[in-house]
Structure 1
Amino acid sequence: MTPPSSSDRRILSLFPFVLASLLFIGTSRLAIENSRAINGRRRSYPTYSKGRITNARSLTNFSRDEPLFNGCDVFDGRWVLDDVSRPLYKEESCPYLTKQVTCQRNGRPDSLYQKWRWEPYACELPRFDALTLLEMLRGKRLMFVGDSIQRTQWESMVCLLQSVIPDGKKSVHRNPPMKIFRAEDYDASIEFYWAPFIVQSNSDNTRNHTVHKRLVKLDSISKHSDRWKGVDVMVFDSYVWWMYKPIINATTGRLHNVQEYNVTTAYRLALKTWANWLESNINPTTQKVFFMSMSPTHLWSWEWKTGSDENCFNEFYPIWGSSYWGTGSNRDIMGILRDALKELKINVTLLNITQLSEFRKDAHTSVYTERRGKLLTKEQKSDPKNYADCIHWCLPGVPDTWNEILYAFLLYDYPQFS
C-alpha cells in the first residue's frame, strides 16, 4: 500500500491523541505479524455479462487452506482511498441506522473512514447493485444470526437496499429476538436474529443480555433454530461474546449440571450442535449458508504503533502493510471454525473478513457512540481510555464491504440458488 499523502495528513490535527483502552478480551497474547510492503501483483479483471462474473470461479466457495480458485482470493487485497464511489450511502439517507453506529451524527469530526474501498489483488468485486440483489431475493428470506456485530451488518445491508425501494413499500418490524426489514414489491425480507452464542444462553434476551456470569447451553439450539427453518440465505456470526473470559460456565445435558469450560472447548461443542442442526434441516440445493469469521478489535495501539499506549480513538487511516493480526483475533477459534466447516456434510461458505478488517483501526465507533442505550456525555467522550468502543463499527463503513463480498458470492451462485 502507498502511505497517505501529506495533504491527507491534515486530518490528524483535528484533535489530540489520548491514552486509551476499552476492555480486556480474555485471550492469550498472540505474536503480531510484522507489516510488509505491498509487492506489485498483476491483476486479472473479470468481465460482466447479465450481472454475472464470467470468470466467476474466482468467487467459488471457501477452499480449506488455499486461495480461492483462478488465482483470486477476494479476501486478499488492500484498502484504496475512493472519494468518488464511497460511501455507498449517507447516514442521513438511511432512517434505519441506530445511534450506536451513526458516528457523524454523534459528533465524529472526520469522514475519511467512510471513503476506503476494498480492492482484491487478482480480481474486482462486482459493483453492488441493490436492484439485482432484491431480484435475487424475490420471495426469499435473508437472515443474519449472531450478536451486535451481526446486527450492524444487517443495518448495513438494509441501508444498501432501502434507497431503491419506494416509500410505503418498505418497513421494519421488531419481533424480539428478531428485526425484520420488508421489501413489499419483492416479497423479500432482510432479518436479524439475536443469538450471540448461536446456541442458547442466559444472554439471549435482546434487552437484558449483559450478565456478569454467562451461562451457555452447549447442546441446546432448538429455541433459536425453530425460527431459522425455511430461511433461504443464512449468515451466522459468533465470536466476541465468547471472549469475555478464558473460562465460561456451560451445560450439556441436564441444566443443573453447570461446569467451567475452556472457551475453545465450549466453542467447539457449540459449533458441533449448530452443525448437527444444519445437516438435519438445510437443503443445500435451495438454501445458502454463510459464516462470518472474527470481527477484529483494536483495543491496544502498541500492536500497530510500537511504544504507544492508546487505542482506536483518534485513528484516521488503515494499518499499512500486506498483513496484520491483532491480539483480539484468536487463532485457536479460527482453527476450530475451519475444522467445523471442513467436517460438515453440507457446504457452508466462510466469509473470511478478519484480515481485511484488521487493517481498519480507524473505522470503529470509538467515543462517537452510545453505551447502554445512551449517547456518551461530553465528559465520557473526553475519557476514551474508559469509554472508547474499539469493537463496533461506524456506518457507513467496514460492514458495507462485508456485504459487498456477500453480494459477490450470491451473484455467483444465483443460477443454482434461484
Structure 2
Amino acid sequence: MIRKLFHDYHSVGFMLVTGLIMGVVYFCGYDMRIIFDVTKEANLAEDYSFERCDFFDGSWVYDNVTRPLYKEKECSFMTDDYSCEKFGRKEFKYQFWRWQPHGCDLPRFNGTSLLEKLRDKRVVFVGDSLGKNHWVSLLCLIDSWISEPSSKVVEWHGSLITFRATEYNVSIDFYWEPLLVESNCDDPIKHRVLDRIMKIESIEKHAKHWIDADLLVFDSYAWWLEPNMTLLGQDWGKPMGTNCFNETEPITKKGYWGNDTSTGLMRTVESVVQDLRKKNFKIEILNITQLSQYRKDAHPTIFKRHWVPPTALELANPVKTADCSHWCLPGVPDVWNEIFYSYIRYRL
C-alpha cells in the first residue's frame, strides 16, 4: 500500500514519517513565553547536528518552570476530545513533564521560526484521532505566536479541516482517513463501526485532498486492530483488569517497552522507508513509540467528551470506559511536535 502511494504520487516534496505503537503507528503559550536569543538561535541553525543527538533516547523530567508550553483554556483550537481539565480532571502534574534526551537538548520550540520555515507551504496530517491529537497540539503550540486573531482561520470541509496562518500563507490541515485506504470508516462523524470493510488498494479517493501538500504526516495503526482490544496495565506492575485510570506518574523503568509494542511493524516501516530513500524521496521516521509509552499518566481516561453517554453500569466502573489511547493536552503530543519542529527547522 505504501509503495503504491509513493509510486503513484511523485509530486509530494517531503514526507515526515513518525512511529508510535501505543495505539498508532505513523507512516510517512504559556503566559511567560520563553524569550529567544535571536543571535544564539541563528548560530544553532547553522551548527545544529542531528548526528550528535538521539532525540528518542532519554527520560521524562518534571519541570514546573518551562512547562506547560500553553494552557488548555487559552488555546483557540482545543477540542473536547483532549480537554481533560475541562471535563473534570483535578490532578495536573501530567502537564509538567519535559522530555530530556540523553547527552543533548531538544531545540526550544519557536512558533515564529516554524511559521517562517513553512511560509507559502501546505502541511497535511492524514490519519485518525491520534493524528488529530498531534495536529491540535501543533495548533495550540503556535497559537500564541500569532498575535492577530484575524490571521488565524479554521475551515471545515467534511473530512478536511484547514488551518491557515494568513500572515505567512501557511496551511496546516488535518484529513480524516483512519485506514488510509477507502473504507466504511471514512465518515468523519459516523465512523464507529465494528464490521470494518476496506478497499485495500484504493487510496486515490482520499489522496486527491492532500496530493498537493509540501509536507505530509501519516498515521494508521489502531484502526487495524480488533475492535474489542483493550489496553491493560499488567506490564506496569498493576493487577490484571486495571489500565491507565487514576495513574498520576510516568513509568521510570529505563528501556521500558509496552507489551503491545510491535517491533515487526517497526521493522516493516523502516524497510519501506529505506527503499523510498533509495529512490531519492525525502522522508523521515520519528519513532516516538517508547518515549510516549512511559507516560501512562497522561491519557484522558474518563476526563473527555463521551460520544455515547456512559451507562449507569459504566459510570459505576470507570475503568471500563477509560480512554488509554489518546492524550490530554497540553501533554505528550507537544513533545512529538517539539521533535517535529526540530526536523523542520534544521533539516527541511
Both structures adopt the same fold (TM-score exceeding 0.5): yes
| Percent identity of paired positions between Structure 1 and Structure 2 | 42
Q: CA deviation at 1:332?
A: 2.1
Matches within 5 A, 1:399-414: 399-414=333-348
Residues 76 and 143 of structure 2 are in contact (CA less than 8 Å); yes or no, is this contact kept in structure 1? no
- Once superposed, what is the RMSD of the aligned Cα atoms? 2.2
Letter in 2 for 1:78: S
Query: Could you tell me which of 117, 120, 131 is aligned with 2:101?
Result: 120
Equivalent in the alignment of 1:340: 272
Letter in 2 for 1:397: G
Letter in 2 for 1:175: H
Query: Could you tell me which of 30, 34, 48 is aligned with 1:56?
Result: 48
Equivalent in the alignment of 2:188: 206
Residues 75 and 120 of structure 1 are in contact (CA less than 8 Å); yes or no, is this contact kept in structure 2? yes
Equivalent in the alignment of 1:156: 137
Equivalent in the alignment of 1:90: 71
Equivalent in the alignment of 2:219: 237
Q: As a proportion of its length, which structure holds more strand?
A: 1
Equivalent in the alignment of 1:21: none
- Do the aligned partners of residues 349 and 187 (structure 1) sit closer, same or farther apart at CA in structure 2, a change above 3 Å counting? same
Structure 2 CA distance for aligned equivalents of residues 412 and 314 of structure 1: 39
Q: CA deviation at 1:186?
A: 0.9
Query: Does residue 1:365 correspond to 2:300, yes or no?
Result: yes
Equivalent in the alignment of 1:139: 120
Letter in 1 for 2:303: Y
Q: CA deviation at 1:176?
A: 1.4
Equivalent in the alignment of 2:323: 389
Matches within 5 A, 1:1-40: none
Letter in 2 for 1:234: L
Letter in 2 for 1:332: G
Residues 52 and 411 of structure 1 are in contact (CA less than 8 Å); yes or no, is this contact kept in structure 2? no
Residues 185 and 191 of structure 2 are in contact (CA less than 8 Å); yes or no, is this contact kept in structure 1? yes
- Do the aligned partners of residues 403 and 82 (structure 1) sit closer, same or farther apart at CA in structure 2, a change above 3 Å counting? same
- Do the aligned partners of residues 299 and 139 (structure 1) sit closer, same or farther apart at CA in structure 2, a change above 3 Å counting? same
Equivalent in the alignment of 1:15: none
Matches within 5 A, 1:307-318: 307=239, 309-318=241-250
Letter in 1 for 2:75: C
- Do the aligned partners of residues 379 and 137 (structure 1) sit closer, same or farther apart at CA in structure 2, a change above 3 Å counting? farther
What runs of 5+ residues in structure 2 fail to find an aligned partner? 1-22, 24-38
Q: CA deviation at 1:76?
A: 0.6
Partner SS for 2:98: strand
- Do the aligned partners of residues 139 and 381 (structure 1) sit closer, same or farther apart at CA in structure 2, a change above 3 Å counting? farther
Residues 162 and 173 of structure 2 are in contact (CA less than 8 Å); yes or no, is this contact kept in structure 1? yes
1:60-119 superposed Cα distances (whole Å, 9 cap, x missing partner): xxxxxxxxx23x210110000000111110011013111111001100010000100001
Q: CA deviation at 1:299?
A: 2.3
Letter in 1 for 2:61: V
Residues 160 and 173 of structure 2 are in contact (CA less than 8 Å); yes or no, is this contact kept in structure 1? yes
- Do the aligned partners of residues 304 and 226 (structure 1) sit closer, same or farther apart at CA in structure 2, a change above 3 Å counting? same
Structure number with greater Rg is 1
Query: Could you tell me which of 92, 103, 107 is aligned with 1:111?
Result: 92
Query: Does residue 1:325 correspond to 2:257, yes or no?
Result: yes
Equivalent in the alignment of 2:175: 193
1:360-416 superposed Cα distances (whole Å, 9 cap, x missing partner): 000001010122266x689745422321011111011100100000000001124xx
- Do the aligned partners of residues 308 and 89 (structure 1) sit closer, same or farther apart at CA in structure 2, a change above 3 Å counting? same
Query: Does residue 1:352 correspond to 2:333, yes or no?
Result: no
Letter in 2 for 1:168: S
Q: CA deviation at 1:160?
A: 0.7
Q: CA deviation at 1:137?
A: 1.3
1:36-82 superposed Cα distances (whole Å, 9 cap, x missing partner): xxxxxxxxxxx954164444332xxxxxxxxxx23x21011000000
Partner SS for 1:357: helix
Residues 141 and 188 of structure 1 are in contact (CA less than 8 Å); yes or no, is this contact kept in structure 2? yes
- Report the more deviating stretch, 129-138 or 305-314: 305-314
1:10-46 superposed Cα distances (whole Å, 9 cap, x missing partner): xxxxxxxxxxxxxxx9xxxxxxxxxxxxxxxxxxxxx
Structure 2 CA distance for aligned equivalents of residues 138 and 115 of structure 1: 31
1:300-340 superposed Cα distances (whole Å, 9 cap, x missing partner): 12111154541101101100121111123222222221221
Partner SS for 1:174: strand
- Do the aligned partners of residues 119 and 54 (structure 1) sit closer, same or farther apart at CA in structure 2, a change above 3 Å counting? farther
Residues 367 and 381 of structure 1 are in contact (CA less than 8 Å); yes or no, is this contact kept in structure 2? no
| TM-score normalised by structure 2 residue count | 0.83
Structure 1 CA distance for aligned equivalents of residues 218 and 45 of structure 2: 25
Higher RCO structure (Cα 8 Å, ≥6 apart): 2
Structure 2 CA distance for aligned equivalents of residues 126 and 229 of structure 1: 30
